Structure 1
Amino acid sequence: MKKTKKPRIRVPKQRVRILDTTLRDGEQAAHGTILPHEKLEIALLLSRMGVDAIEAGFPVSSQGDYEAVSMIAGEVRGAYIAGLARAVEADIERAWDALKYSEKPVIHTFIGTSPVQMATQLKKSPKEVLKMAEEAVRCAKGCAGSKGYVQFSPMDATRTEPAFLHEVIQAAIEAGADIINIPDTVGYATTDEFENIIKDVRENVPDIGQAILSVHCHDDLDLAVANSMKAVQMGVEQVECTVNGIGERAGNAALETIVMGLKVREDWYGKRTKVKTRYIAKASDMVGKYTGLPVPQNHPVVGEGVFDHSSGIHSDGVLKDRENFEIMDPTHIGREGDVSKRIPIGARTGRKGVAANARRLGYDLSPEEAEKTYELAMNIADMKKEVTDDDLRVIIEDDVRGYAGTYELISFQASSTQGEGCTAKVVLGYDGAVSKEAACGDGPVDAAGIAIEKMTGRRIRVDDFKLDAITGGKDAIGEVTLYASDNGHKVVAKGASTNIVEASVKAYVNALNKIMFYQQTQEK
């Protein structure tokens, strides 16, 4: 009876290896280029996270990629470092030259095995492709020797004829492959099909037990994570994935979803990774920053909105106990603070939701302040889709707890006719009384200033004016900073609103109040 050799890389029965290919396949996303020094920073973080292997690049593809792989191989410790190579001797030698200083180098060689790729891209027969695969693995094995490892991928495996797939995998193992990777290169397989492919490889490749079995799934039909998780159920030892799921076309299986899926549902899968999940958010943010590829708000695990609760029932439930509507603790992925208590403020949000957000941001509001904050938040919610944390801070700090001046801007309207200047109507509150006035001016702010002068008997001089968008989006809140003076008193005042002119008038009123306060203080 033939004795079965055990794989050189040993994987505990209850664990799944994670190979991160963000720096290779992830960078193939459109406009997702990462600079060499950024790649090193990401690789160091991935290693600290505890990923088992990092595919650092495709060394033969460019001098920059070669240098990045070489730098990562020389500086990153702990993780296996892989470099991609076609089934071509020059590719393999170039990959090894870049990898040779890694403590655990992996040459990952591949060749297309589906009928369409063999016939139209490679223009080779199955017999020629089989020979190229064998020779590539032997070449890689010769380069890596006893120090390194060889991974082989039959590209487009899920569209490859099953019998040929099994034949080429067996040949690769006999040639010395340590890892066999089954790629769903074009995201074609359904979950049931992928399960059967893994099952058939296990049953029809005689020496499959001598290698680690890996999968690499693409997301063209939104099945990359589902297929990867099914493969884990089928006993594969390694899953290839990328941070934020970035990659060629629709991307790859997302590392964060795979890792947290196995963590949250260990009861179902019976497997775990050695990834330290507290680094997930940091990795997501870093990759998003360096690639310039934004993470969708609803992206599982790391999207900005995945711990938000908008509807009244959900908001009430999560405020009482987050487990009512959350299956993950945001602190487990490294999100700072109690973000699970963030309640998106929209037109249907109740007073409890607004007050809860204020508490989360560190504001202890009195009942009167809470009511005013709610009313102002609803005013903004009527003008834009959502009141953000930054919006809420502005409301509390500027309008609710801002300078307690004598005058309060209650309402403001402006209209203009070409060639006839501008008319402003202003309503001010003063010591419980309300005053109304209208005036014409060179522009809406000038007209408002004249109207305010009529009501207050005071006119201040605007020395400088600055506008900033302090929240994002097309419906952002604008903050106006006004530098004003009167009889030697110089002040800086701010006003904020989604309406720039209204923000300017608010700043004007706040500046007037400050000047009056300073003058009254001096008189005393």
Structure 2
Amino acid sequence: MTQVRIFDTTLRDGEQAPGFSMTPEAKLRMAKALAALKVDVIEAGFAAASPGDAQSIMEIAGTIEGPVICSLARAVRGDILASASALAPAPRKRLHLFLGTSPIHREAKLQMTRDQVLEAIRTSIAFGRDYFDDIEFSAEDAIRTEREFLAEALSLAAAEGATTLNVPDTVGYTTPEETYDLFRFLDGAVDRPKGMIFSTHCHDDLGMAVANSLAAVRAGAQQVECAVNGIGERAGNCALEDVVMALRTRGNLYNATTNVDTTKIMAASRTLSQITNTPPPRNKSIVGANAFAHESGIHQHGVLQNRETYEIMKPEDIGLSTEGIVLGKHSGRHALAARAKALGYMLEGEQLDETFAAFKIVADEVGTVDTARLVALLSEAQTHRPQDLWKLSKLDIRAPLSVSAWPVVRVELEHGERGRVTDIASAPGALDGAFAAVSQMIGVPARVDSLEMQYIAADPDQDAPDGQGASVLVEMTIEVDGEIFAGRARSRDILPCCVSAYIDAASNAQAVRDLREMNARKDQAA
């Protein structure tokens, strides 16, 4: 099989996109995640862009072991010197030179003729060779460059000492068919030493970055430039997780493999999401929250029999441990019975029919039926006694006048058996205080692991009694004794919605704890 190198540009092309800027500490943390992922090359930044970027590259170069550390540079001496200085501590380093070659770049941006572009390629690579043994040359906007001139430019770069030739679709314009045809043409038209490889760098403006990258691999490219979660300029870069898992899952088609440790994909994705405060969309392939989730009854039945009926890869392959079955209004009897059995409840015959009917009513009301709600439903089916869950009744926040003092939060909860319970807590933040008060009342000490909020304003033409008419959805995960539990809530206001989601997650943790204690007592009695 062909070994395809993974050139990660999360910290350069990804980071320079609006909304994805990272601090030096965050970039180093992400670089460590990429090294654990075992990518071949980490493009750590653009040394000449700013002193801060140069310092960040230098810190990564002196800390990270394993991957080649790379810096981007324009085809000018100042950029090359800045890259050489920033990469000095790296045991393995690469200079990534680029220069526009397409007519529109030559005329509108560079104001250079063909001959001037070729001369700049020649002199910059020759100068770079004084500082680097490993030089990658990118013909910016290669896809829109005249084929013969592109072949001439790449041949010159190879002759001057470039070791990797990158053919980027800088503006995300091409298609898989065109990509395959171009790389086949370049394979025969570019004069280069044996062993020199072609690289592909695709953008997602037309949604084809991954497909185009795979087409390049099929045509002979041996390096793919990509970014975690597909971040990057405009619509983003080829998503690392997509191209790596495509090559792994369809290795028989592409006859290619990578060195990536795929079990670290989810960890790298989450690290980036935490750093940038931007999680991938729920329906994002491989790393999205729904990538291995099933709510449809038909799908759930198949997955319960054999996961391969609806899953082409295992969640464990990307480092994800998940139940996969999401109970909601589309779920069927098989999924409900299986989940109930896992919780220690056997549902059969008439009891299953009655519980399923009640389950559908709850699912229509709340959407996703989580562990706490399901346990309450199952207990009610067995005891015929309503099982009440904790609900937020009142939230009172008193902010101090002094900036050094902590807010005091009073939370009032309501419970079917315990009635109305109130507690007060103080913390550096109002939400921290509210969460602490809830934990004290429910008896579940927890740490917030993640919090995602969607604030959706009403349509301007829609009448809203309060003048705003917004809807807030909060999805949260908390850590309790090393385990992760999820909660969600929908409300009109942000703070109560966050507290309600925390209550939901803590209730799920409490339900699981109670079930374990009940099963332990059963085992002892047996």
TM superposition score category, shorter chain reference: 0.7 to 0.9
Inter-partner Cα distance in structure 2 for 1:64 and 1:497: 40
Deviations 1:129-171 (A, max 9, x none): 1111111111111122xxx411100100000011111111111
| Secondary structure of the structure 1 residue equivalent to 2:173 | coil
SS in 1 for 2:97: strand
Q: Name the counterpart of 1:521.
A: none
With over 3 angstroms needed to count, the CA separation of the structure-2 counterparts of 1:371 and 1:139, relative to structure 1, is farther
CA distance in 2, matches of 1:250, 1:335: 26
Cα distance in 2 for partners of 1:286, 1:374 equals: 39
Q: What SS is found at the alignment partner of 1:128? A: helix
> How far did 1:291 drift?
1.5
Percent of pairs with identical residues: 37
For 1:84, which of 69, 72, 91 is the aligned residue? Answer: 72
Is this contact kept in 2: 1:342–1:357, CA < 8 A?
no
Instruction: Answer yes or no: is the 8 Å Cα contact 2:298–2:332 preserved in 1.
Output: no
Match of 2:372 in 1: 394
Corresponding position: 1:55 with 2:43: yes
CA contact (8 A) 1:343 1:354 kept: no
Matched, 1:106 2:86: no
Q: Are 2:215 and 1:227 aligned?
A: no
Q: Distance in 1 between matches of 2:245 and 2:419?
A: 59
Corresponding pairs, count = 422
Q: Is the 1:201–1:208 Cα contact (8 Å) retained in structure 2? A: no
User: Shift of residue 316 of structure 1?
Assistant: 0.9
Letter in 2 for 1:248: E
Distance in 2 (alpha carbons) for counterparts of 1:162 and 1:393: 59
Select 1:68's aligned residue among 52, 56, 61: 56
Q: Deviations over 1:337-381 (max 9, x none)?
A: xx3x5223332322322333455xx52124399777645543332
Q: How much has 1:463 moved relative to structure 2?
A: 5.4
CA RMSD of aligned residues (A): 3.6
Give distance in 1, aligned partners of 2:75 and 2:195.
Answer: 21
User: In structure 2, what is the equivalent of residue 440 of structure 1?
Assistant: none
Q: 1:475 deviation in Å?
A: 7.2
Distance 1:363 1:125, change over 3 A: same
TM-score by length of 2: 0.72
Kindly indicate whether the alpha-carbon contact (under 8 Å) linking 2:98 and 2:140 is maintained by their aligned counterparts in 1: yes
Matched residue of 2:70: which SS?
strand
| 2: CA distance, partners of 1:333 / 1:189 | 29
One of 296, 300, 305 as aligned partner of 1:311: 296
CA distance in 1, matches of 2:142, 2:245: 27
Answering whether residue 347 of structure 2 is matched by residue 367 of structure 1, we say yes
Greater Cα radius of gyration, structure 1 or 2: 1
CA contact (8 A) 2:379 2:387 kept: no
Q: Is the 8 A contact 1:376 1:395 kept in 2?
A: no
Q: 1:152 is paired with a residue of what secondary structure?
A: strand
Cα separation, 1, equivalents of 2:422 and 2:269: 45
**In the alignment, is residue 151 of structure 1 matched against residue 136 of structure 2?**
yes
User: Do the aligned residues in 2 keep the contact of 1:22 with 1:55 (CA within 8 Å)?
Assistant: yes
Contact 2:296–2:332 under 8 Å retained in 1: no
Pair 67,380 (structure 1): closer, same or farther in 2 beyond 3 Å: farther
Instruction: List alignment gaps of at least 5 residues for structure 1.
Output: 1-12, 411-444, 453-457, 480-495, 504-524
* Residue number in structure 2 paired with 1:238: 223
- Give the match for residue 467 of structure 2: none
- Per-residue displacement from partner, 1:406-425 (whole Å, max 9, x unpaired)? 98489xxxxxxxxxxxxxxx
SS at match of 2:136: strand
Cα offset, 1:478, TM superposition: 11
- Are 1:373 and 1:396, in contact at CA under 8 Å, matched by a contact in 2? no
Shift of residue 383, structure 1, vs aligned partner: 2.5
Asked if the contact 2:340–2:378 (Cα under 8 Å) also holds between the matched residues in 1, the reply is no
Partner residue of 2:126? 138
- Give the equivalent residue in structure 2 for 1:265: 250
Letter of the structure 1 residue corresponding to residue 177 of structure 2: D
d(CA) in 2 for partners of 1:19, 1:213: 12
Maintained 8 Å contact 2:184/2:220:
no
Q: Letter of the aligned partner of 2:371 in structure 1?
A: R
Q: 1:202 aligns with which of 168, 171, 187?
A: 187
C-alpha distance in structure 1 between counterparts of 2:164 and 2:489, whole Å: 59
Q: TM-score, normalised by structure 1?
A: 0.73
Q: Is the 8 A contact 2:377 2:387 kept in 1?
A: no
Amino acid in structure 2 at the alignment position of 1:232: V
- The CA deviation at 1:498 is 6.8
SS of residue matched to 2:3? coil
Q: What code does the residue aligned with 1:203 have?
A: G
Question: What SS does the aligned partner of 2:15 have?
Answer: helix
Residue 110 (structure 2) pairs with residue 122 (structure 1)? yes
Q: CA deviation at 1:311?
A: 2.5
Q: Report the CA distance shift for 1:118/1:208 in structure 2 as closer, same or farther (over 3 A).
A: farther
The offset of 1:185, in angstroms, is 0.3
Write the letter of the residue equivalent to 2:239.
A
